[in-house]
Structure 1
Amino acid sequence: MSHSTYNRMWSEAQVELESLLTQEIPAQPLRPEKDRVVFFQRLSVLYVRYVQIFRQLEEAYDQVVHPQKRRIIRGVLDGVMGRVVELKNEMVEKEFSEYHYMDDVIQDLKLTPEDIEIPIPRYFLSERSTMLTDRRKKLSNILMEILEKPRTLGVRTLKLEEAIRIIQVSERARQGRLRAKFMRDIQRDEERLKRASDQDVGAATVHAAVVLIQKVWKGYVQRKKTKREREEEMIFLGMAMESSLTQPSPVRVSAQANKVRRRAKQEEYEEDYQKSTVAIKEELRELEGAKMRETMKDQIRQWFIECRDATGTFPDYPDEEEGGSALIFTEKTPQQVIEELAAKDEDVNKNSKVKEGKEKGKKEKGKVEEEEEAGLKMLPSAFLGDMEVGNKTFTEVWQNRTDSKNFSQRHEAELIKEEKRKDLEVEVRLQVDELMRQELANWKLAVDNEKGGKAKAGAKKKKSTKSGKKKKKDKDLTADRDIESLYQELVEQGLLKQPEDVKLQDYLGDYSYLGTTLRQTDIEPMPSLSDVRQVMALYAVLPLGSQVIHEKAPLVKAILLAGPAGVGKKMLVHAICQESGANLFDLSPLNLAGKYPGKNGLSMMLHLVFKVARLLQPSVVWIGDAEKMFYKKVPKEDKELDPKRLKKDLPKILKSIKGEDRVLVVGTTQDPFNADLKALCKVYDKIILIPRPDYASRYIMWSELIKKNGGEITAALDLSSLAKISDGYTQGHMMKVARNLLTERRVQQLPKRPLTAAEFVALLAKIDPVFQDEEEALKNWYAKTPLGKRRARAAAGIEGEEVPPTKGSKNVKKKGK
């Protein structure tokens, strides 16, 4: 596509964004909505529209080559991504569920499920490609060194009787194999002689053979012709696709090559832009720096004289914290500036008294405000301001700007001059402030006989920035070591691993088309795998990939993935690392067995892991079998692993993770029932229940797995029936069956013997599926989590903190407690 296509895509996204900003920042505040359904509908529409803008801006940012335009798009893109994450968090708070069904909204807006799929911004990896490649090479080299280290093998001496027995067994096996080969050759010769003696080569026999050959050949030709005619008819009716169209078209191949060329141009233009920025700033400093400096000095001196004429004394020079001389150049008179500086001192004293009065009135006003503000309101956003600034820049600078003279879309020097002139002004102002402070002191000493060393009684006192209590800093246990040695130690100990090469889009699954319909009939639908993929993109990939989102959006420090074995929990962990370019640390109980023993060893291990994770962020800390850390009672077979080692120290470290630390803890479990639920929920902010695949997801998965393993889908294979029969089986089961069936020999037989569903059923029958009891147990466990309890209260129409007691429940709180 051309430059104009992506410019138009950006322009359309900005127009839509401006419409949304007008709706979200109205002239008058919106009244609270009392109907929860109406409020959630409003949130859903906003979410869908922001996702569409997100998709457009991401595509535009990936292909626009103009370096200055890309900076504006990047700022708006980060703001839109953050707003999408905020809306997702708000929908969770209002609907008390991690999964949401918006098929009615999609239908009203005439969209497809692909239109609201969360895209993973390509700049997460492209802008760090060199660093990620170097890190991958370094990790591979360390692993190769570990494998190449010579291992000392213990040699065990055999007794004479044992050696004789081993030799005898080997010799008897050799003689048996040789005897079997001779017998097989003799049997084959006897069968050949018998067939030769039974053959009758008469005329009648030859005629019968010819007729048989003709019958087989004519049947083969007719079946082939009928099959071809059937395929042509299906293509004519639009129920099948031509084989030539299944291959990538030349136009598509050309478009992909064009995208690659545009990305190469981006790097070239960016490098040229950086060089021009430095050159233009130096040029401005030489041409305009001296004049700008003298102009500022004259203005400041004029201000000194006007203040002395108005008040009789020279003013105090504003501090750097207040803006320095920039405060002088605001549209105020000298008297107003002096009054403003004096008023700030009075405000500091008044604030302490006002706070006391406010605290007393809070309780009385609380009830009144609750009555007035009854209803649901949108939570405040940290990204609307950024989007508004980006939209304003687009409107003022780029919307009506023509590119007729800049066909190649290189940088524009005039815009760089405007930007760097402001930077130069700030730089010169700091230098001028230092000179003018000294000049003002000399004026005061010469005219008013003031001593520079003494301060006036009314002069401002600097506020002490130090708080009464000093914050205790954590001791660095590895202050004398560099990051390279720490990285190598973690790799050698097996705590830092190379994530598998899987993407989030490889987690196959179709959209849930009946979610809203089922909820309207008071039936809670099971989420689809597409919903799981969306949740992982919003909670994990986007915050890890973007520093802006991680700092401003609601902070998620730890996620727990719960579900039956084989539903792809581990695959999701690796996909998060691959999509965001994160390091993978493995703190699973089985992986920690025998490493860093003792209390001091545990402290050192956690210090190493989280120090490297912060320095080489983004990072993912994976804890497999997360329920073992919170065992109610440790089983005998797991006592040697000491699975509860991290139970006390991990929550403390999670508290130290701040918005600037792109570190995410991801736990996976298939038996969460064995854990202490209260302790588990304190560690993990989000608990995601991953179900087994539904019919639509199984249909897509069978198709992709068969193709991936070298198979072909023909009319002989009834995929619909296969997807129906495999109900209850997970992705892991299906992958295992596809690999076992599609061996090299079976793939070679496909042209003569196409695949059938019966072949898959025979292998599926040997595997135990996820039974209904296990699925119900997971549902009941999830209903006991904090979000599950809130969902149950909302479904029962009960407001408050206490859960309605179930029949037979012993934990019923008495009144008054």
Structure 2
Amino acid sequence: MSHISYNKQWQDAQIAMVDMLAIETPEQPRAPETDTNAAFQLVATMFVKYVQIFRKLEQCYDQIVHPQKRRLIRVVLDGCMGRILELKHEMISMDFSEYHYFDDILADLKLTPNDLEIPIPNYFVLERAQAIEKRERLLGQILARMTLETETQDTTGIMTMDDAIRIIQSHERARQGRLRAKQIGELRLNDQRARQRANMGESKMDKVLAATTIQKFYRRYVVRRDVKKFREEEYMFLGMAMPTFHKDPLKRLLADVRAHEDERRKRQEKHEIAYQQAIIATHEKIKQTEGPDMKERLQDQIRQWFIECRNVSQKFPDFPDEDEGGSNKIFAKKTVEELQEELDAKLESKGKGKGDKKGKKGKKGKKEKKGKKGKKGKKKKKGDDEEGWTLPESQFVTEMIKPSTETYQSFWETRDEGNNFEQNHDSEVVKEEKRTEVQEEVRLEVDALMREELKNLKAAIDKTKEKKKKKKKKKAKKKKKKKEKDLTPDRTIESLYEELVMNRIIIRPPKVTLNDFLGDFNYLPSLIRQAKHEPMPTMYDVKQLTSLYGILPFGSEKVHEIAPQVKGLLICGPRGCGKHMLLHAICNELGANLFDISPQNIYETYREKEGIKMLMHLCSKVGKALQPTVIFIGDCEKLFKKKLKPEEKQFEPKRLAKALPKWLKTIKPGDRVLLVGISHEPYQGVVKPMMKVFQRVILLPRPEYGSRLLLWKTLIPKYGGIITPALDVTSLAKLSDSYAPGHIHDTIVETLTERRLAKMSKHPLQASDFIPGLAHHNAIYKEEEDAYKSWWKKTPLGKKRERFLEEQEEGEGGDGKGKKDKKGGKGKGKKGKGKGKKKR
């Protein structure tokens, strides 16, 4: 895409943002919404539209070269990202569910599931590329040093010369035996063929009859081949069969697109360097050329104000303090008389005695008490607020999105850039920005000079001594907070980092992205809910939830400070469903450090209470210094089990469970530290203490048919396999029901060996090749799935969800009379529910 295309995309995103601002900040206050379904539909539609805007803005910020445009886009992009997170948490508070489905909204807006996918901004990693590279280099050096030490320690097991000779001799004898057996087998086969030829003798069939028979079979073969080819082409045209993938035709095209994007990013760096140099040069130039004139003009204006004030009040005024605005307050839109009245009123209020202050305080106290009572009474009267819902105000909209949109409309929307083909920075805009900065710097200098001049004038003409003003130190009454003691005051972050790497606390995650986590969209959840059933989430929904909980809130500092905070995230599900893959994807998408504080990993190095205290201190200190940071606990249900098995007691997981809640309190907004727990048996732990540590839960489901089909279609070509019509992928997707994605992946890797890939040209892959490998894995049975569902219903959010569904059923089952008699209404609702089940 060209500069014009990206500018047009930015314009489309801003037009859509204006429409959203009309909903967010209406001219007249909107009446509260009494229908909960309509309110939820409004929030969900806003969420989908913000995702559309976010997708466009992210691509624009990644590829637009103009440095000044990118700064404005970045503000809107962060605001849009934060608003998406707010709307997600708002939807959770409305229907008490982690997963939400938008198939009906997509149909109304004529969008595809791909349009709903939330992209991960590239600037999360690209803007920290140098820091990440430096950290990876340091980590690699420490790990290399560790491997050298282990190799030197294992020198005791060196093989002797005699043992090496014996192994070589045995292998050589085995090779000679295999070769001799092969030769003997070939000789026997040749003898057998010669005997068969001698026994058969000459053929007695007529040559014409033989030729006719051959023609008959050949023509039959040709017809069958043409019919089969025609059927395959027809199925492909109708979408009932997938084409044969010998080589990916899009690989070269995608490589060209990525190369073009990388080239634009390099141009961004060059333009950014030129822009920074222009900022410094322009600032110095304006200060040297226009600074003296600004200074002289401002001094003349302030002196004129001195004279006018003296003519009115027969005395020189007091110069406003810097905290009050300095000379900016003088040149506000007020007359000289108004300014003098304000200054006189301040002097009078300072000269009054303590008694007046006490009297005022007493009067104010009475008024405040009355006011408070009145407010309380109003609140009691406004008990009907629970019946209606209003869209809560957003700090992202008021502080980031709205001002940036207004700047775009007033400046960039109507700007003609036909001559700026290279998309260099605008020097006039730089001059205006730097001129205001220089004016502020000059104003501060002039204010200091004019205060001294005013002091001398008062002493010489009015013959008054300037009273030393006692600066009121605004001491905010803050609660004394216990500061966390630094247990390692004399050590650097680098030394602490090295210690954690040496103790295998900081580890290097495998290179996995969130796009590698495959899953298909759920196309019919609204119909399932109409049938009074709760739809099971898909792997696609899990992927979306991971980006909303674990990646987007931690990529930007500004977003993390304002957005709803997520400190602890629990990822649970059956074995092989991709829990660790999601953890590694979070680390790679953020460029974050990964700390492994699982009980099995720390029991040798950090023992007892003091060891755990030191470990949590190191995680906090190093993690906050090198944020974003992901802290991982494997098999976290063991921390909250009532009774531990003997083999689990040796790791002492309970000591970590006691330290985690206190440690989480030290994480404040702005500290981009995420605690991630992974569990395949969460139902073994006590729910209440577990949910205190992990505020959000991602429950991975068993993959449905669409996700399984996508896994087979994607992973077989990835590992060198060729999908032909002989391979019935749909049957494989059906047969792999109740198996996890990890089982499918392992089956494909085990089946597609080098030997099998070499035979593919003559013997294409078939579904029967994968069935033996799949049968070796343990399936996910219904009992295990029910255990996860029943556990989730015991969580705080699960309980609220159950209550919410019961209230909806009671509301639909009642005839309107149930409102008068609540008990009777509930009883009737239950009976009606039971009768309905019997009829079914």
Q: TM-score, normalised by structure 1?
A: 0.90
Deviations 1:508-546 (A, max 9, x none): 001111112212222111111111111111111111111
Alignment-derived partner of residue 504 in structure 2: 494
Match of 1:553 among 563, 581, 592: 563
1:367 aligned onto 2:380: yes
Q: Are residue 588 (structure 1) and residue 598 (structure 2) matched? A: yes
Query: Which structure 2 residue ranges, 5 or more long, are not aligned?
Result: 351-356, 811-825, 831-840
Cα 1:627–1:315 shift into 2, 3 Å: farther
- Does 2:711 correspond to 1:698? no
Number of the residue aligned with 1:82: 82
The answer on whether the counterparts of 1:86 and 1:554 sit within 8 Å (CA) in structure 2 is yes
User: By how many angstroms is 1:397 displaced?
Assistant: 0.7
Give how far 1:165 is off.
Answer: 14
SS in 1 for 2:650: helix
Deviation, 1:166, is: 14
**Residue 197 of structure 2 is aligned to residue 199 of structure 1:** yes
Question: Does the Cα contact within 8 Å between 2:54 and 2:81 map onto a contact in 1?
Answer: yes
1:110 equivalent in structure 2: 110
- Asked if 1:573 is matched to 2:587, the reply is no
Instruction: Give the whole-Å Cα distance in 1 for the aligned partners of 2:30 and 2:453.
Output: 54
Per the alignment, residue 140 of structure 1 pairs with 140
Q: Is the 8 A contact 1:32 1:373 kept in 2?
A: no
CA drift at 1:748 = 1.3
Distance in 2, matches of 1:43 and 1:189, equals 80
Given the alignment, which residue of 442, 446, 460 partners 1:446? 460
Amino acid at match of 1:732: G
1:460-475 maps to which residues of 2 (within 5 A)? 462-465=472-475, 467=477, 470-475=480-485
2:244·2:724 contact (CA, 8 Å) conserved in 1?
no
Q: Any idea what the Cα deviations from partners look like across 1:767-796, whole Å, max 9, x if unmatched?
A: 221110111110010011111111111111
Q: CA deviation at 1:430?
A: 1.5
1:337-373 Cα distance to aligned partner (Å, 9 max, x none): 4555657979996876655444433432222122256
Relative to structure 1, the CA distance from residue 203 to residue 214 in structure 2 (aligned partners, 3 Å threshold; closer, same or farther) is farther
**Aligned pair partner of 1:315 in 294, 317, 323:** 317
Whether the aligned pair in 2 keeps the contact of 1:711 and 1:747 (CA below 8 Å) is yes
Shift of 1:623: 1.0
The 8 Å contact of residues 586 and 621 in structure 1, kept in 2 or not, is answered as yes
Could you tell me how far 1:195 is from its partner in structure 2?
3.9
Correspondence 1:63-102 to 2 at 5 A: 63-102=63-102
Q: Give how far 1:95 is off.
A: 1.1
| Residues 745-771 of structure 1: per-residue CA shift (max 9 Å, x gap) | 111111222222223223222222111
Equivalent residue for 1:638, pick from 641, 648, 667? 648
Contact 1:40 1:94 in 2 (8 A): yes
Aligned residue in 1 for 2:401: 387
**Larger deviation: 361-370 or 199-208?**
199-208
Could you give the per-residue CA deviations for residues 125-175 of structure 1, whole angstroms, max 9, x where no partner exists?
2222222222222211211111112433485999xxxxx999999999999
Paired residue type of 1:361: G
Please state if 1:412 is matched with 2:426: yes
TM-score (norm 2): 0.88
Q: CA deviation at 1:317?
A: 2.5
Of stretches 223-232 and 399-408 in structure 1, the one that deviates more from structure 2 is 223-232
Instruction: Give secondary structure in 1 for the equivalent of 2:203.
Output: helix
Task: Determine the structure 2 residue equivalent to 1:161.
Answer: none
Q: Find the aligned partners of 1:720 and 1:113 in 2 and give their Cα distance.
A: 22
What is the CA deviation profile of residues 725-760 of structure 1, one whole-angstrom value per residue up to 9, with x for unaligned ones? 211111111111111111111111112222222232
1:424 equivalenced with 2:424 (yes/no): no
C-alpha spacing 1:251/1:701, structure 2 compared with 1 (3 Å)? closer
User: Is the contact between residue 550 and residue 660 of structure 1 (CA under 8 Å) also seen in structure 2?
Assistant: yes
Q: 1:370 to 1:11 in 2, by over 3 A?
A: same
Q: 8 Å contact 1:235–1:242 — kept in the other structure?
A: no
Distance 1:219 1:486, change over 3 A: farther
Query: Following the alignment from structure 1 to structure 2, what is the Cα–Cα distance between the partners of residues 207 and 528?
Result: 67
Tell me by how many angstroms 1:311 deviates: 3.6
1:777 maps to: 787
Match in the other structure for 1:813: none
Amino acid at match of 2:541: D
SS at match of 1:755: coil
Identity of aligned residues (%): 45
Match of 1:537 in 2: 547
Q: Look up the equivalent residue of 2:382 and give its one-letter code.
A: E
| Aligned residue number for residue 402 of structure 1 | 416
Q: Is the 8 A contact 1:716 1:755 kept in 2?
A: yes
Structure 1 segment 716-735 matched on structure 2, within 5 A:
716-735=726-745
Please, which moves more after superposition, 76-85 or 167-176?
167-176
Extract unaligned runs of 5+ from structure 1. Answer: 159-163, 808-817
Name the CA distance, whole Å, in 1 between partners of 2:237 and 2:806: 55
- Secondary structure at the aligned position of 1:151 is classed as helix
SS at match of 1:687: strand
- What residue in structure 2 maps to residue 629 of structure 1? 639
Aligned partner of 1:287 in structure 2 is 289
Partner of 1:302: 304
Question: Which range moved further: 580-589 or 751-760?
Answer: 751-760
Match of 1:377 in 2: 390
Q: Secondary structure at the match of 2:739?
A: coil
DSSP 3-state at the match of 1:383: helix
How far 1:601 sits from its partner (Å)? 2.0
8 Å CA contact 1:582, 1:618 repeated in 2: yes
> How far is 1:441 from its partner?
2.0
**Aligned letter for 2:197?**
Q
Amino acid at match of 2:66: H
CA distance in 2, matches of 1:277, 1:521: 63
Cross-structure match for 1:811: none
Contact 1:33 1:39 in 2 (8 A): yes
User: What letter matches 2:395 in structure 1?
Assistant: A
1:296/1:167 CA distance change after superposition, 3 Å: closer
What is the CA–CA distance in structure 2 between the aligned matches of 1:694 and 1:627, rounded to whole Å? 26
Q: Indicate if the aligned counterparts of 1:563 and 1:669 stay in contact, CA closer than 8 A.
A: yes
Is the 2:566–2:695 contact (alpha carbons within 8 Å) kept by the matching residues of 1?
yes
Cα root mean square deviation, aligned = 3.4
| Greater per-residue helix proportion | 2
Match of 2:620 among 600, 603, 610: 610
Please show how residues 207-222 of structure 1 align to structure 2 within 5 Å: none
SS state at 1:727 partner:
coil
Question: Structure 1's 216 and 144: CA in aligned 2 closer, same or farther, altered over 3 A?
Answer: farther
Shift of 1:245: 10
- SS of equivalent to 1:315: coil
Which digits, 9 at most, give the CA deviation of each residue in 1:482-509, with x for residues without a partner?
2211111111111111111111111100
Secondary structure in structure 1 of the residue aligned to 2:27: coil
Q: How far apart, CA to CA, are the structure 2 residues paired with 1:267 and 1:27? A: 42
Q: 1:243 to 1:197 in 2, by over 3 A?
A: closer
Q: Does structure 1 conserve the Cα–Cα contact (< 8 Å) formed by 2:567 and 2:674?
A: yes
TM-superposed deviation, 1:93:
0.6
Q: What amino acid is aligned across from residue 328 of structure 1 in structure 2?
A: I
Write out aligned runs for 1:657-668 (5 A).
Answer: 657-668=667-678
**Inter-CA distance 402–187: structure 2 relative to 1 (3 Å threshold):** closer
Q: Distance in 2 between matches of 1:496 and 1:165?
A: 40
**Whole-angstrom distance in 1 between the partners of 2:651 and 2:712:** 38
Give 2:42's aligned residue: 42
Moved more, 94-103 or 181-190: 181-190
- Name the CA distance, whole Å, in 2 between partners of 1:412 and 1:352: 57
SS of the residue 1:307 aligns to: helix
2:246/2:722 contact within 8 Å kept: no
Q: Which piece of structure 1 moves more, 286-295 or 332-341?
A: 332-341
**Matching residue's letter, 1:115:** D
Shift of the alpha carbon at 1:553?
A: 0.7
Give per-residue Cα distances to partners, 1:570-627, cap 9 Å, x unaligned.
1001101111111111111111121122322222221112211111111111111111
User: How far apart are residue 182 of structure 1 and its match?
Assistant: 6.3
Distance in 2 between residues matched to 1:237 and 1:509, nearest whole Å: 24
